[in-house]
Amino acid sequence: MKSAAIAILLFLVSFRVLAQDPEFPREFIMHLNLQSGIVTSFNNAPELYTGGVQLIPQYTFVTNLMRGGAIAEVFYTSKNLQGAIGPTISIKLKTLMAGKFGSIGNINLSFDHLWGTGSERLVGGGINLDLANKFILGLSLQRDYNLSTWWIQSGLGFKISKTKKIPHI
């Protein structure tokens, strides 16, 4: 089973490299993400607003497929300003091509685990639309398995790391 999974992964990786996919190249990338949403228990308890700012540095360790890094977050909820930190990975689902001229973006899934300063333990993920390697629109769902709540948020991210220029010759 394990060897079959490795074989499938290797096949996916080789296919993506051969296809000259411009998305998820091997690089360091950092996003500033604005989050907004609700914290709910899906019961009679009132839903709480949450909003925050995330800093997400990542490095692509499987070209055209997967990058990983960390999330450092400052967020507001329950009338408190709090912080959270934890690991994250993004897996590219689809490259949005612009004919033979390259790509205009990608759709990716993200998975993360965050430890919050208010005893939150968030695990979950989201789906993201990366446009022009400049903006990310996302929807995320996370489960706080310590406080038994669900966090449903939308996000708008901006790439803040330096864009690699066409080499000068």
Partner 1 sequence: MSRALVVSGGGCKGAFAVGLVKRLFEHWPNLAFDMYVGTSTGSLVTPLVAMNEMALVEHIYTTETTENIVKTGRLGDHINDVSIFDASPLWDLVQANYTDDRYNALLNSGRKVFITTTCMQSSQLVVFTNDPAPANPENYQVRTLANADHFRRAVMASACQPVFMQPITVNEHLAGDPTSTFQFCDGGVKQYVGVQMAVDNGATEIFTIVLSPEADEVDNEVYGDLFTILQKTISIFSDNVDKDNLLMPKKYNDALVYIDAVKSKMEASGLSSDEVNEFFNIPALNSPYQGKAPIKFFFFEPVAPLDGGPGGLTFDPVKMTAMVQAGVDVANTFIATVNPADVTWN
Per-residue tokens: 37: 């949403």
The distance of closest approach from Cβ of residue 79 to partner 1 in the complex, given in angstroms and rounded to an integer, is: 39
User: How far is residue 169's CA from residue 161's CA, in Å, rounded to a whole number?
Assistant: 24
Does 26 bind partner 1 (CB under 8 A)? Our answer is no
C-beta closer to partner 1: residue 133 or 142 = 133
Q: Where are any strands of DSSP class E within 78-148?
A: 80-97, 103-116, 121-131, 135-144
If one asks whether residue 167 binds partner 1 (CB under 8 A), the answer comes out as yes
How remote is the C-alpha of 55 from its chain's centroid?
11
* CA–CA separation, 60 and 70 (whole Å): 12
The two beta strands, 149-159 and 135-144, are antiparallel
Near partner 1 by CB under 8 A: residue from 9, 132, 156, 160: 132
Residue 4 or 166: which CB sits closer to partner 1?
166
Using the rule CB under 8 A, give the single segment among 45-53, 69-77, 114-122, 160-168 that binds partner 1: 160-168
Q: Measured on CA atoms in the order 117, 118, 124, 126, is the torsion positive or negative?
A: negative
Which residue from 13, 91, 131, 139 is in contact with partner 1, where contact means CB under 8 A? 131
If binding is defined by CB under 8 A, does position 156 make contact with partner 1? no
Q: Report whether 74 contacts 82 (CB < 8 A).
A: yes
Backbone dihedral angles phi then psi of residue 17, each to the nearest 5 degrees: -65, -45
Angle at 57 between CA 56 and CA 58, to 5 degrees: 115
Nearer to partner 1, 20 or 80 (CB): 20
Binding mask 27-66 for partner 1 (x = CB under 8 A): ----------------------------------------
Q: Does 103 bind partner 1 (CB under 8 A)?
A: yes
| Stretch of 19-27, 50-58, 65-73, 77-85 lying at the interface with partner 1 (CB under 8 A) | 19-27
| Site residues, partner 1 (CB under 8 A) | 20, 22-23, 98-105, 131-134, 163-169
